[in-house]
Chains A and B, each alone.
Chain A
C-alpha cells in the first residue's frame, strides 16, 4: 500500500513540476525578494524588517496560489482526461489514489518552499553580509506556512472531488479568507448577545480551519520566535485537520461512479 502511495505521490510531484505556472510563480517570488532589498532603501531604518516581511509573505502568498491552482486539478483533471480509468483499473485502491495525490502536491510545495526559502536567505545574507541566530527563526515561520499550505491543499483536494476546478478554486480561497477571520466571527457572535448566533458562530469557529495561529511573519520580522507549545499545537492541529480533509475526500471519491 505504502509503495503504491509513494508511486502516485512521486508521479503527481513530477506532473506538477512540469506546470509552467509553477516556475512563473517561483520566479516572481524570487524577484520580489530581490526587490525587497531595493524597497528597504526608500524606507527608513527597516531594511531588514521589510526583507523578512516581504520574503516570508512571498513564500506564503505564492505557495497559496500554487496550492490552490494545482490542488484544484488533482482529481478533476484525472477525471476530465479520463486517465482515472487507467489508474483505477490497476490494483490501486481509491484511498491510495487520494492520499498519493495529496502527498505528491505537499512534496511539490515543500520543494518550492525550499527553493524560495533559499532565495530569501540569499537576499538576507546580501543585505546583512552575515546570518546570525535570530535570522533562523524564519525557518520556523516557513514551517508554519507549510503546515497552513498543507491544510489548503487538503481543502482544494476535497473540493476537487466534488466540483469543477473554477468552483474549487473559489471555494478554497473563500475557506482561506474565512479561516483568517474566525476569531472575528466568534467575537461577533459573542458581542451580539443572541444565543443562536453565538452557537452558529462557535460551530463555524471549530468547523473551519483556523489559519490565524499559523501567521507569525510579523513576529519573525522582529526576531521573536513562536513559543514551543504553539509549534506542537499547530503541528497537531494541521495533522488532525488534514486527516479530516483526506478522509472526507476519500469518502466522496469512494462514492463516485465513473462511467
Chain B
C-alpha cells in the first residue's frame, strides 16, 4: 500500500516537473544539432554490414533536419550537406537522397540551403555511383538551368542524360530548348511541366505546381506592367488602380493570379500580387 502510494505520488510529481523542463528548454536558444561522425566511409566500416540501415537513419535525419529548419524559415542549413554526404557514402545507391537532397541544397533560403554548388557535387557523386540512372542527369541539368543559370552546361547535362538507357524522349527536346532559348519563360515552363508529369511523389508535384504558378504570375505581371505603361503614355498620368484600366477599356476585368487572388497596383506604379495571393514569386530565380 505504502509502496503503491509512493509510486503514484512520484508519477504525479513527474508530470509538472517534465512540463517545467519543457518550458525552460523552449525558452533557450535552439542549439544546432551535432554530428558525432563526419565521415560516411568510417561509419560504413563501423556499421558491421548494417550500412543500409544506417543510411536510412541518416537520410531520415536529413529530412527531419531540413523540415524543421524550413518550418522555422531558417536562412542557414549548416548540417544539411554533411548529413547528405554521410547518407550517400553509407548507401551510394540511395537515389532519393541525391534527388531530393540536391533540391534541399540548391533552393534559395528560406526554402532551401541556397548552396547550388554543393547540390552539384552531390548529384555528380550520385552519377559516378549510378552511371546509368538518367534522372540524375536531369537533376544536374535542372540545377544548372534554374539555380546557376548556366544554360550551356544545362543543355549539355540534358543531352548526356538523354543518351542514357531508358531516358525519356523529352530530355532531347529539353536539351535543344535550353541551348536555343535558355532563360526564356517558355523553356522554364516546359521544364516544370515535365517535372510535374513525371514526378514520383506528391511533394515534387506540389513543388512543380507552385513553380508553374509563379512563372504564370510573373508573365501576367509583366503583361499588366506593359498595359499600365501604355495607359500612362496615352492618358498622360499613371492609373490610380487597376480599376482605371478596366474603366478605360484596357482590361475587361481585373485579372486574377493562378491562386485566384486579384492583382493590385502598388504605390510605385508597378503591378503586384494581391495580399490574399498564395503565389510565391520568391521561388523564381
Interface window among B19-27, B91-99, B185-193: B91-99
Which secondary structure dominates where chain A touches chain B? helix
Instruction: Let me know if A44 and B96 touch, CB within 8 A.
Output: yes
Instruction: Let me know if A45 and B200 touch, CB within 8 A.
Output: yes
Chain B residues near A83 (CB, 8 Å)? none
Provide the bound-state CA to CA distance between A42 and B48, in Å. Answer: 25
Chain A residues near B100 (CB, 8 Å)? 44-45
Which secondary structure dominates where chain B touches chain A? helix
Chain A nearest CB, measured from B143 CB (Å): 19
Instruction: Let me know if A49 and B56 touch, CB within 8 A.
Output: yes
Interface window among B58-66, B212-220, B227-235, B246-254: B58-66
The winner among A57, A176, A181 for most chain B CB atoms within 10 A is A57
Chain B nearest CB, measured from A133 CB (Å): 19
A42, A211, A215, A218: the one within 8 Å of B55 (CB): A218
If A42-B60, A45-B200 touch, whether A221 touches B49 (CB-CB below 8 Å) is no
Chain A nearest CB, measured from B67 CB (Å): 9
Please tell me if B50 contacts chain A, counting CB pairs below 8 Å: yes
> Please, what's the 1-or-0 string for B16-59, where 1 marks a CB less than 8 Å from any CB in chain A?
00000000000000000000000000000100111111011001
Chain A residues near B94 (CB, 8 Å)? 46, 49
Provide the bound-state CA to CA distance between A60 and B203, in Å. Answer: 34
Chain A residues near B64 (CB, 8 Å)? 42
> Please, what's the 1-or-0 string for B191-217, where 1 marks a CB less than 8 Å from any CB in chain A?
000000000110100000000000000
If A177-B48, A218-B91 touch, whether A45 touches B96 (CB-CB below 8 Å) is yes
Instruction: Let me know if B93 and A57 touch, CB within 8 A.
Output: no
Name the CB-closest residue of B to A183.
B45
Chain A nearest CB, measured from B86 CB (Å): 15
Please tell me if A53 contacts chain B, counting CB pairs below 8 Å: yes
If A46-B96, A180-B48 touch, whether A53 touches B53 (CB-CB below 8 Å) is yes
Please tell me if A94 contacts chain B, counting CB pairs below 8 Å: no
Chain A residues near B51 (CB, 8 Å)? 218
Provide the bound-state CA to CA distance between A137 and B96, in Å. Answer: 21
Chain B residues near A177 (CB, 8 Å)? 48
Instruction: Let me know if B56 and A54 touch, CB within 8 A.
Output: yes
Instruction: Let me know if A180 and B49 touch, CB within 8 A.
Output: yes
Chain B nearest CB, measured from A175 CB (Å): 12
If A43-B56, A50-B56, A222-B93 touch, whether A211 touches B49 (CB-CB below 8 Å) is yes
Chain A nearest CB, measured from B66 CB (Å): 9
The winner among A43, A180, A214, A222 for most chain B CB atoms within 10 A is A43
* Residues of chain B having any CB pair with chain A under 8 Å: 45, 48-53, 55-56, 59-60, 63-64, 91, 93-94, 96, 100, 200-201, 203
18 further A-B pairs in the complex, CB-CB below 8 A; given A49-B56, A181-B45, A211-B49:
A42-B63, A44-B63, A44-B100, A44-B201, A45-B201, A46-B56, A46-B59, A46-B60, A46-B96, A49-B52, A49-B94, A60-B49, A180-B49, A184-B45, A215-B49, A217-B52, A218-B55, A221-B52
A and B contact pairs by CB, cutoff 8 A, 11 listed = A42-B60, A46-B56, A46-B96, A49-B52, A50-B60, A53-B52, A54-B53, A57-B53, A61-B50, A218-B93, A221-B52
Q: Which 10 A-B pairs have the closest CB atoms?
A: A218-B52, A215-B49, A43-B60, A45-B96, A53-B52, A53-B53, A57-B53, A44-B63, A50-B56, A180-B48
